[in-house]
A = this chain, B = another copy of it.
Amino acid sequence: MKVLEGGVTAAKGFEAASCEANIKYKDRTDMAAVYSQVPCVCAGTFTSNVVKAACVMWDKEIVESGNPMQAVIVNSGIANACTGKEGFDACEATAKAVEKSLGVPFKSVAVASTGVIGMQLPVDKLVAGVEKMSKTLDGSIAAGTAASKAIMTTDTVNKEIAVSFEIGGKTVTLGGMSKGSGMIHPNMCTMLAFLTSDVAIEKALLQEAVSSVVKDTFNMITVDGDTSTNDTLLLMANGLAENKKIDTKDGDYETFKEALSYVCEFLAKKMAADGEGASKLFEAKVINAKTKDDARLLSRSIVGSNLSKAAIYGCDANFGRFLCAMGYSGADFDQNNVELFFESANGKLKVFDKGTPIEFDEDEALKIMQADAVTVFVNMNEGSEEATAWGCDLTYDYVKINADYRS
């Protein structure tokens, strides 16, 4: 597997565009389009929030219907959630504008939104944006990068990646872009991810690969239930790599899944590190847990705790907070089996040993905690399952961003 430059336009036959539609932001791009020259099989995962945005309901219908997908239109600034029938009509109007401009059936056009909840989208601006973008679609790396910037809200960096790999002598490419993150700002800052590939694969297997990979990547930066109204991941695969179609779980399927896992983990970690106001990446790795579910619960609970996050920000090796978060995670365990370490590029230090705190050198702990990425490493000593979760620290800037996000 090779890591390439670019993102959604890296795979054969994919184009992208972006524009200033002035939906809510001024003087920046706020709409993006991803388009495949030929119809694609598609897979997706969506928010589990009971309150689903209009666009989520729209996309879910396409993915579940088995219709091909050929384009995705995304806007930033307004989320189109809690907007009733008018919100759903805005999705349809956008998709119909794509049908008119590009000749793609409107039931093959996905839409996604991120931003303020409870405000209606200006349909005229959306339609004008689609018309503009339909004239500038382009398969270059730059066009993909520009699209990844147009979907940002409070993100401080754009997020994209592409990889290539061999399947039966053919080069297959998989790329993607994402914005936001889940865990870090638990329920508002929507996580959107759009992946594109020229792999030839059956729809059911594509969905199975996506659902499986998401569990250990994107979902490990989002605590169950703590999901936005808009969270959406879509993968379009157009088959232009001309590999023998993957239609069973053979080695080719595993090769594809491995690449997908790499791309998703890369984007997930990048989102975690770019959490609102974040100053560092905060990772929790739990090994030797009784069950896989326990390992996931424990690691997510650690990175999700406000007090853990504040301690990581303050470079405070206050390991009790991490144990406390494990204690209310829902997983059952005996604290007398637990070993807890702090780890970073600057070293590794054991601070808790099977029920008893260890006296440690505060200067050494401080050095470890001051790194850009800090890991809490926990050995449960009760089984053989492991999981890793990613988050970020809790800072003054988080409060600042969210106290006046809407205005």
Residues of A within 8 A of B (CB): 48-52, 79, 81-86, 116-120, 185-188, 225-229, 305-307, 310-311, 313-314, 316, 318-321, 323-333, 335-336, 351-352, 355-357, 394-396, 398-400, 402-407
Question: How many copies, total?
Answer: 2
| B326 A50 Cβ-Cβ under 8 A | yes
Main secondary structure on A side of the interface with B = loop
| A328 B82 Cβ-Cβ under 8 A | no
| A319 B118 Cβ-Cβ under 8 A | yes
Provided the pairs A320-B79, A320-B118 are in contact, do residues A328 and B403 lie with their beta carbons within 8 angstroms?
Answer: no
CB distance from A355 to the nearest CB of B (A): 4
B residues within 8 A CB of A311? 402-403, 405-406
Can you give 30 contacting A-B residue pairs, CB < 8 Å? A49-B328, A50-B327, A51-B323, A51-B327, A81-B323, A82-B355, A82-B357, A117-B318, A118-B323, A185-B306, A185-B307, A187-B321, A225-B330, A227-B328, A229-B323, A306-B306, A306-B402, A307-B402, A310-B402, A310-B405, A311-B402, A311-B406, A314-B402, A316-B403, A316-B404, A316-B407, A318-B406, A394-B402, A396-B400, A398-B399
| A357 B225 Cβ-Cβ under 8 A | no
B residues within 8 A CB of A405? 307, 310-311, 314, 316, 318
| A81 B324 Cβ-Cβ under 8 A | yes
Q: Which of B83, B316, B329 has a CB less than 8 Å from the CB of A357?
A: B83
Complex CA distance for A186 and B306, rounded to whole angstroms = 7
Complex CA distance for A313 and B403, rounded to whole angstroms = 6
| B120 A357 Cβ-Cβ under 8 A | yes
| B84 A188 Cβ-Cβ under 8 A | no
B residues within 8 A CB of A351? 118
Provided the pairs A327-B49, A328-B227 are in contact, do residues A320 and B357 lie with their beta carbons within 8 angstroms?
Answer: no
| B402 A399 Cβ-Cβ under 8 A | no
Provided the pairs A51-B327, A306-B185, A403-B316 are in contact, do residues A118 and B352 lie with their beta carbons within 8 angstroms?
Answer: yes
CB distance from A275 to the nearest CB of B (A): 11
B residues within 8 A CB of A333? 50
Q: Please, which residue of chain B has its CB at the minimum distance from the CB of A83?
A: B357
CB distance from A399 to the nearest CB of B (A): 5
CB distance from A5 to the nearest CB of B (A): 35
| A229 B117 Cβ-Cβ under 8 A | no
B residues within 8 A CB of A86? 356
B residues within 8 A CB of A406? 311, 316, 318
